Amino acid sequence: MSQTRHVPVMLQRCLDLLAPALQRPGAPAGEGPVVVDCTLGLGGHSEALLTRFPDARLIALDRDTEALRLSAERLAPFGDRATLVHAVYDELPDVLTRLGVPRVDGVLFDLGVSSMQLDEADRGFAYAQDAPLDMRMDQTTGVGAAEVLNTYPPGELVRILRAYGEEKQAKRIVSAIVREREKEPFANSARLVELIRDALPQAAKRTGGNPAKRTFQALRIEVNGELTVLERAVPAAVAALGVGGRIAVLSYHSLEDRLVKQVFAAGAANTAPPGLPVVPEEYQPRLKLLTRGAELPTEEEVAENRRAAPARLRAAERIREDVA
């Protein structure tokens, strides 16, 4: 598969936000800054980090074995500056412990489905082409999307479509799914796309692009436990940062972005009880927000890379240690 198709989203802005934490010229060998790419994918962000910050060491995580294989080829010229690990990003604390890294200087998350997963037809992520309904980011483990569709109770499917896809027509779609799966279990994406088109009222088909988009997003999030993992991963990444360390997170839908916003806002808040004349150290904020709200890609970037369109970027700096 060609790696030239992969254009990292908001790359320059991510590098600029992380730069103050990763520019440490002349550090003794082995004592340069450590940056973690929690979502390696095809390695575009990782390659840029290693290139721009020549003293930095990279630790990169991905749950997708094919992504790790392709990225290992891409990052081979950097030798032992890059350590690639097969892991889900909420496993970051375990990975750092195993590698003997107590604190890191930078963390990057590029959430959601990777370009490679969308482009490989047999993965079942894309609603634009017929493929087996799999959607697992790690194909070595877990339950695929077909099993979710064929076995989950109707009420649970409605909950997933509403919570993870923000799908207003969830009940109507699930009624059609339950009716159809009794005739024949679901196996491929084209049948599901057609069913959704037939189930929706005309008005709903006229808004928001492909009518199957929200259902596919919901199934993908459920199959991969994305929000549950993210709820653990972002606080763990913040905890791994040394003072002066920075974290940047690219989200692609409101559920992810809301979760990141909440973690950052909590870290940047003064938690002292009201009325204290002097705020003790343990109540002081431990994060400083580096972005005003969520930053959006430029029009030029979206024109070059349509997958950047929904991106939302937030970043923060660790400004103090936790006080026991």
Topology, domain 11-116+226-318 = Rossmann fold (3.40.50)
| 30 pLDDT more than 70 | no
Class of domain 122-224: mainly alpha
Whole-prediction pTM: 0.85
**246-263: string of b/e by CB count within 10 Å (b at 16+)?**
bbbbbbbbebbbebbbeb
Burial class (CB in 10 A: 0-12, 13-18, 19+), 4: exposed
* C-alpha distances out from residue 209 to 127, 191, 204, 221, 289, Å: 11, 18, 10, 19, 33
Binding site per annotation, positions: 43-45, 62, 89, 110, 117
As a whole number, the mean pLDDT across the chain is 88
Q: What is the pLDDT of residues 192-206, one digit of tens each?
A: 999 999 998 876 666
User: Which segments of the chain belong to CATH 1.10.150.170?
Assistant: 122-224
Residue ranges, comma separated, of all CATH 3.40.50.150 domains in the chain are 11-116+226-318
Beta pairing class for 287-289 and 312-318: antiparallel
Contact criterion met (CB below 8 Å) for 250 and 9: yes
Q: What is the pLDDT of residues 204-246, one digit of tens each?
A: 666 666 788 889 989 999 998 889 999 999 999 999 999 999 9
**Residue numbering of the annotated binding site for S-adenosyl-L-methionine:** 43-45, 62, 89, 110, 117
Average pLDDT over residues 69-81: 95
**Percent of the chain residues past pLDDT 90, beyond the cut:** 65
Average pLDDT of the residues in 110-116:
66
Name residue 249's beta-bridge partners. Answer: 109, 314
Task: Taking residues 178-190, report their average pLDDT.
Answer: 94
